[in-house]
Structure 1
Amino acid sequence: MPAPTSLDTQVLHAVRRHTQAENPSSFLTLNSGNEVFTSPAAEGVIVYRRTGRFLVQFGGPFADKGSYEELLRRFVAYAHQQDLLVVGVQLQHEDAAVYAGSGFTVNQIGASWAVRLPDFTLRGTRFMQLRNKISRALRSGLRVTEVEAGEWREQLSGIDNAWLATKNSDARALEFLVGQIGGPAQEHRRLFLGTIEDRPVGYISYAPVFGSRAGWMHDLSRRIPGGSPGLMEAINAHAIETLRAEEVEWLHFGFTPFTGLDESLELPGHSPSFRWLMHFLWEHGEQLYPAKSQLAYKEKWAPQLRIPEYVAFDGCASLSAFAHIFRACNAF
């Protein structure tokens, strides 16, 4: 496993310390393949990927309030010096307000969801169908354990390959806005593996969440095709009981584009046409991203918290910039 570099350590320090934007996906800044912008004039980091003429920024600057706007200003200047534009994705509301005040066009792009674990229970009629699916998976012989990813690298890769083979021929494993297995940050993640007769059949990786709603984020998940329904639900239910025993406060389910859209959450100066596009993609964009099925899985767990997330365009809202977000994610 690669050793953490000083830059990895700097990014981890920044997302742990600078939590004013409360981004539940902030640990994704540690993904391999990301680039990091810093400035000697401002404390903190900005994490991004370059695709075409765009610097696709993840979240806002992870910086203290005294450096936040200065770091953003310097990052935009850095992009413009190269004749590039910035597009920021998964901004939190506090980020979005700063970006809108800095000349960006800001729109809601989706939402993330979270469950407060101390109050969570699967009892009651609301969860009857979920309990039945979990029971069916357990009756099939499913066993769930927390494991070290490095000890199961080959088997996890086999699950990934089998899962990807069920997609269309152009499908790729997503990056950037989803987590990964391995890399220098793996020691900070947790991995729950499902096996049947000692054969791995699915897994869920959980990433740490910092800030006032600290806990874990249900992140990367994969399963082999076929098999018993309820495999992933049973793995997550086991993880929930483990986290509850540890008195963890929150389980986050991460960001899903095109979901939780609410006109009242838009900021002044947003693009009405881009808002229309988000609603259109919610209704008809399953080939671009399976938002409805992703949300359906999250809603099974009755999340109490909806966190709006935003996209910020350097200037006017741009379809090209929006497409490059998906390009940065390896979607095409």
Structure 2
Amino acid sequence: MTAVDLLRAHARSSSAFLAYNQDTEHFQTPGIDGLIAYRPAGRRHLVQLTGPCAAEADQAALTAAFRAFAAGQGRRITAVQLGKEEAAACAELGYAVNQLGASFSIDLGQFTLRGGKLAETRNRLSQARRAGVQVTEESTMDSELALTLTAIDQEWLCAKGRAVKQLGFMVGERGGRGAAHRRLFVARAAERIVAYISFSPVYGPRPGWLYDLTRRHPAAPTGAIESVIAHAAEVFRGEGAEWLHLGFTPFVQLHPEHRIPGAHNKILDGVMRRIAGRERWLYSARTQERFKTKWAPHLVEPEYLAFEHGLSLGAGYRLLRLIGAL
């Protein structure tokens, strides 16, 4: 089975398709239809993305094989974006496990723009309409469109400044081997593209689409991004999709009730709580959280970080380097 076939068959995380990013590697072992997505981080560490992608009966064996693979190279595993069950499984193996953040999802069967919680979103959509914003899905990527989107990428990065980092490895990409599976929606104003969003497929218990990469020109009208999301949600719902996933945000929704008993590291918890709420330090987590919660998501799930053999400064440093936080 190909990696995409395995994701279709066994993925459970809404972020699982990020395993198909161009530079992400796939560990597989004979006799098991499954994979673990990872990237090397320095000479001593491997960073795993989500839990093992395999049938439930095979997950423990696949994890054991991956641990042996890492140990054979003298490396330690750090796993990110684990669901609660996956985090509990890591805890049983002796990993240090802490909540890293949360993911936000909209049930398209219940999606509406009515109600008090959506007032801000409706206001921004109205501003975009008055500015003449129009949204379309782009089914082909010609050279002109690619150059336009690249220019928007550059403007976006310049406008954000040096302090804002991209969570590499844990966000989508516009090109690469997964490009044919993603969908691209753009917002135009005055016949010029001013913003775009790429969506990745989501398989598993809550199938649909993941909002995985967004860019906005600094001069884009207010509400351009909201217009893209609202339009895409209606397109996906009309096609029968069940969920629109707004993706993972680190350092938010860190609640004591989400802790994994016996595996929680108090030092790491203190560090993440200091990070949480500090705009432009490592990542603008609170801005992302506000943006996602204003869509009144129907599901907010904790996601976890796990360190094999316990927390170490080296593992933490390599993780931050990999995701682009340092």
Shared fold (TM-score, shorter chain, > 0.5): yes
Matched residue type, 2:117: R
Residue aligning to 2:230: 237
Provide the rounded CA distance (Å) in 1 between the counterparts of 2:29 and 2:138.
39
Give 1:104 deviation, angstroms. 0.9
Asked if structure 2 preserves the Cα contact closer than 8 Å seen for 1:91 and 1:311, the reply is yes
Alignment of 1:1-332 (within 5 A): 10-19=2-11, 22-52=12-42, 53-148=44-139, 150-151=141-142, 152-169=145-162, 173-268=166-261, 269-284=263-278, 286-332=280-326
Give 1:11 deviation, angstroms. 1.6
Where 2:268 maps in the other structure, the secondary structure is: helix
* Cα deviations by residue, 1:120-150 (Å, 9 ceiling, x for unpaired): 1112333222212111112112110000352
Provide the rounded CA distance (Å) in 2 between the counterparts of 1:220 and 1:185.
13
More displaced 10-residue stretch of structure 1: 295-304 or 264-273: 264-273
Provide the rounded CA distance (Å) in 2 between the counterparts of 1:173 and 1:315.
28
Matched residue type, 1:76: R
* Cα deviations by residue, 1:213-270 (Å, 9 ceiling, x for unpaired): 1111111000101332111111111111212222321111111001121211211222
* Cα deviations by residue, 1:46-74 (Å, 9 ceiling, x for unpaired): 11111112101101111122321121112
Asked if structure 1 preserves the Cα contact closer than 8 Å seen for 2:103 and 2:247, the reply is yes
Matched residue type, 1:79: A
More displaced 10-residue stretch of structure 1: 312-321 or 171-180: 171-180
Give 1:10 deviation, angstroms. 2.0
TM-score (norm. length: structure 2): 0.94
Provide the rounded CA distance (Å) in 1 between the counterparts of 2:26 and 2:240.
34
Asked if structure 1 preserves the Cα contact closer than 8 Å seen for 2:28 and 2:35, the reply is yes
C-alpha distance 112-82 of structure 1, shift in aligned 2 (>3 A): same
Q: Considering only aligned residues, what root-mean-square deviation do their CA atoms show, in Å?
A: 1.7
Unaligned runs of 5+ in 1: 1-8
Give 1:285 deviation, angstroms. 5.9
Aligned length: 322
* Cα deviations by residue, 1:270-297 (Å, 9 ceiling, x for unpaired): 2122122222211336310110000000
Give 1:41 deviation, angstroms. 4.3
Asked if structure 2 preserves the Cα contact closer than 8 Å seen for 1:112 and 1:255, the reply is yes
Asked if structure 1 preserves the Cα contact closer than 8 Å seen for 2:166 and 2:283, the reply is no
Matched residue type, 2:295: W
Matched residue type, 2:6: A
Unaligned runs of 5+ in 2: none
Asked if structure 1 preserves the Cα contact closer than 8 Å seen for 2:195 and 2:220, the reply is no
TM-score (norm. length: structure 1): 0.92
Structure 1 stretches of at least 4 aligned residues deviating more than 6 Å after TM superposition: none
Asked if structure 2 preserves the Cα contact closer than 8 Å seen for 1:286 and 1:292, the reply is no
Asked if structure 2 preserves the Cα contact closer than 8 Å seen for 1:118 and 1:247, the reply is no
